[in-house]
Structure 1
Amino acid sequence: IFPSGGPVMELVEDCGGTSALAVHVEVLVKPRSKTDVRMHVVAFLDHHRVITGNHRWTEFDEQFLRQNVDSVAIADPERGTIDLKGCNLTVHIFTLNNDGLSTLNLEEDEELSAANHWLLPAAEFQGIWESLVFEDGVKTQLLDYVSTTIFFSDKNVNSNLITWNRVVLLHGPPGNGKTSLCKALAQKLSIRLSDRYTYSQFVEINSHSLFSKWFSESGKLVTKMFQKIQQLIDDEDALVFVLVDEVESLTAARNASHAGTEPSDAIRVVNSVLTQLDQIKRHPNVVILTTSNLTEKIDLAFLDRADIKQKIGPPSTEGIFNIYMSCLGELMKCQIISPRQQLLTLHELETISFMESNVSQMSLSLRRIAEKSKGLSGRSLRRLPFLAHALFVKVVVLEPLSNNLPPAFVEKMKNFMLVRSACYNQLVLPIFKHYVAFRLWKYVVIE
């Protein structure tokens, strides 16, 4: 069903003939866990009913689950509150691969790696999906896109009549999670499709290594790189994700070369990339993920091949609030903020009509800070709590010692720190004051 103006909603027919919402349950099991985990997880979920769509259990009463399961997660954060009794549960059981990063070289004697390689689901990618906050529907649409490519392939849809190229382009200003989203999407799909594919692989091409110091060799290196990828794709039991970060470096607009502002070798590189993409799209078990900060520099022929061109811009106020919530949660978990304080989600604040009370005061303060933070990238937002601690805590540490220090020295240090933090005052200081409002750090903020 394709509702107007929204992502594809996943509905299935239950035994009574009515439509039921399909909910994905992701179960991270411990190494060498027993085979009947699914049955115990289903029984565990049967004791729960109304939950939020982004709920995770890590502690269990049942001994079997404690011994075999690390976590059980309801992985549908964009669906809000869910009644599990009226849903069709799809349970995905997986373990994390701890082999880490390996490299792919085009020649055995080469020291410079042409690509980084991971087996999925990878331990170092775990949790990225949940940490990324975008406008409603972005992550769901990307999941639906890959699911549709596989569905059309299974149905043997004639690709000459209905075309898809298995290419996704994420574009927008730097620092908003494009590369992280590609890694998280691959991780998520490796879990969701684990019943179909024995394992998944993630290849991150090092674009700069494909430009040879020898004239006219770059196009050949691109071909060699995709031949390596082709070897991975030939295993039909593997789902392969290929990431080309800053894709404009491999697909620079060829009209610039004709104008003489780019070397002719760049034309060969673009031609080689386009040729390889046209060959790869015939295989059902590959997805090409690309990112760019400079879409105006990309060749039009490549842009035309991208099935989805999704802009990833700075987070909305809601996204900023959720980012700050996750940051505070992490600081509380690490006991940098102590004691642990309760924060209300935006949904919970809406249910009380944003009325201020002793319970909601802190969350409402965080919401006001989020509104002041509009326009910052996700990377900058996640850096602010660190800067608040690094810049302002060090200032106030001088306060208890000020009686034992020459007044001129104390004043000089204060001025130094204020100048150093001037560019952050508008945002970092309010956040730090918010911490103080929590009564988490008992310091005097220097005005």
Structure 2
Amino acid sequence: MGRIVHVEVARRTRLEVPRRSWLKIKELSDAVKEELKQKGKIVPGTRLTKFQNSIIEEHVQSIYICELENNVSDNGLIELSPDEIPVEEAIFDIHAYQLDGGEPQVGLIGTAGDDNEQPACNHWILPTVEFEGLWENLIYDSNIKDILLNYVNSIMFYSEHNVDKNIITWNRLVLLHGPPGTGKTSLCKALAQKLTVRLGNRFIHGELIEINSHSLFSKYFSESGKLVMQMFEKITEHVADEKALIFVLIDEVESLTLSRKNTFSGNDPSDSVRVVNTILTQLDKLKRYSNVIIFTTSNITGAIDSAFVDRVDIKQYIGLPSKEAIYSVYKTCVEELVRAGIIVSSDESKLVSVNRVKKGESDSTSSYFNSVNLFSISELSEGLSGRTLRKIPFLTHAHFIKTRVVDLKTFLDCLHKTVLKYKNEEICF
């Protein structure tokens, strides 16, 4: 039995391809499948930018070979995807898309008494160049990415089959919570991009509206609730386009949904209650639409109103990365520096998988010993956030490396010094 392999194909723009040779989706899909069948094996997580077929070269920017479906074992546990599968076992599910290169638009709102309208949200057309590659570079210990993809697939499946929401309820609302710097906001943006690509056969494009929670509070009594109402009225205008898939992202949602048992310091408590009531009412109105999904993030979930938490479909904790996840983060950083020509490309710069290191499958190559060294640095780095980890390689070069190009062993020695100094608070970010 074959395995379904999701393949995402970034098309060139119509400006890059002569009009007379523009391929239809089916023609492009068939050409991509033929290109992939020329390979002896399929490696999930591989991005291709060079192609044998001249037609693909003309029409495609990149081909990303994603995860495999059917990775649930008989006992219900998630199985790890194999490192590679023979091409004859692969059933390719092609998702073709074209990136939007525009800048995010700033949405403005204001009330009587304000001197000027205030920026309240950023608005992206998806898929966008800005988020390309973000999904695969987010590394977590849990299978949270699979959980979120399956959640949205279930939403669409239930909507297509007109399941009565008065009998079975879902609110299209996700809450990611955990310490700062763990990638909650980035995951929401990457998921919106990923879903726009995967659901391209149902929607013409996607839109991400990122709300600036703090801009929805006014210094004037009772005006904050009105600002929230204005914001959601704008969102509803976008949702009215059934051909667009709309994502709403509310960062630090606790600032808008503070428990009504508490009060804001310096603000009238009744105004805080109005804001929470308005948010809850507007969320209840949005759930009737089949083309909207709401992502929220929080660093302090204990302060959130219980009525909001009760509406959440998925409440997922995003913690600090383990040493295994840290190794994978550092490994992608090393691979990027090799690609950029900053770390010398050689056999010894090809790091092995974290599983091989943990299993102790020792060999005498420099590549393996460098991988073991990186894993020990990863153990030392435990307790650092994902945001910090991705700064460490740059700071390594800035503080310790005096040459433009460096070999991997030297880089890892300097990486070790950087982590030690940072954990001893001798390096400031």
Q: Give the TM bin, normalised by the shorter chain.
A: 0.7 to 0.9
In structure 1, stretches of 5+ residues that fail to align are 1-17, 398-419, 430-447
Partners in 2 of 1:300 and 1:83 — Cα distance? 50
Q: TM-score, normalised by structure 1?
A: 0.81
CA shift for structure 1 position 347:
4.1
Partners in 1 of 2:237 and 2:382 — Cα distance? 45
Aligned to 2:221: 215
Aligned to 1:79: 81
> Residue deviations 1:413-447, cap 9 Å, x none?
xxxxxxx9974266999xxxxxxxxxxxxxxxxxx
Partners in 1 of 2:271 and 2:331 — Cα distance? 48
Aligned to 1:184: 190
Aligned counterpart in structure 1 of residue 98 of structure 2, from 95, 99, 102: 95
Aligned counterpart in structure 1 of residue 260 of structure 2, from 245, 254, 259: 254
Contact map agreement 1:391 1:421 (CA 8 A) in 2: no
Partners in 2 of 1:84 and 1:390 — Cα distance? 43
Aligned to 2:395: 387
Partners in 2 of 1:258 and 1:371 — Cα distance? 41
Does residue 24 of structure 1 match 2:15? no
CA shift for structure 1 position 275:
0.3
Counterparts in 2 of 1:215 and 1:425: CA distance versus 1, 3 Å? closer
**Alpha carbon RMSD of aligned pairs, Å?**
2.6
Contact map agreement 1:387 1:428 (CA 8 A) in 2: no
Q: Helix, strand or coil for the counterpart of 2:124?
A: strand
Does residue 194 of structure 1 match 2:200? yes
Does residue 104 of structure 1 match 2:110? no
Contact map agreement 1:100 1:123 (CA 8 A) in 2: no
Partner letter of residue 85 of structure 1?
A: E
Counterparts in 2 of 1:184 and 1:297: CA distance versus 1, 3 Å? same
Partners in 1 of 2:338 and 2:32 — Cα distance? 29
Aligned to 2:43: 52
Partners in 2 of 1:354 and 1:278 — Cα distance? 57
CA shift for structure 1 position 87:
3.3
Counterparts in 2 of 1:258 and 1:421: CA distance versus 1, 3 Å? closer
CA shift for structure 1 position 226:
0.6
Correspondence list, 1:10-409, <5 A: 20-32=2-14, 33=17, 34-35=22-23, 36-76=27-67, 79-80=81-82, 81-106=84-109, 110-257=116-263, 263-340=269-346, 341-349=349-357, 353-393=361-401
CA shift for structure 1 position 263:
2.4
Partners in 1 of 2:234 and 2:247 — Cα distance? 13
Q: Helix, strand or coil for the counterpart of 2:366?
A: coil
Counterparts in 2 of 1:319 and 1:334: CA distance versus 1, 3 Å? same
Q: TM-score, normalised by structure 2?
A: 0.85
CA shift for structure 1 position 161:
1.2
Q: Helix, strand or coil for the counterpart of 1:105?
A: strand
Contact map agreement 1:314 1:377 (CA 8 A) in 2: yes
Residue range with higher mean Cα deviation, 126-135 or 59-68:
59-68
Partners in 1 of 2:81 and 2:173 — Cα distance? 27
Partner letter of residue 151 of structure 1?
A: F
Counterparts in 2 of 1:425 and 1:171: CA distance versus 1, 3 Å? closer
CA shift for structure 1 position 107:
5.1
Aligned residue pair count: 388
CA shift for structure 1 position 49:
4.1
Q: Helix, strand or coil for the counterpart of 1:239?
A: strand
Residue range with higher mean Cα deviation, 26-35 or 114-123:
26-35
Counterparts in 2 of 1:83 and 1:300: CA distance versus 1, 3 Å? farther
Contact map agreement 2:264 2:272 (CA 8 A) in 1: no
Q: Helix, strand or coil for the counterpart of 1:28?
A: strand
Contact map agreement 2:35 2:52 (CA 8 A) in 1: no
Residue range with higher mean Cα deviation, 103-112 or 297-306:
103-112
Partner letter of residue 210 of structure 1?
A: L
Partners in 2 of 1:46 and 1:163 — Cα distance? 43
CA shift for structure 1 position 301:
0.6
CA shift for structure 1 position 279:
0.6
Partners in 1 of 2:390 and 2:363 — Cα distance? 28
Counterparts in 2 of 1:74 and 1:422: CA distance versus 1, 3 Å? closer
Aligned to 1:7: none
Larger radius of gyration: 1
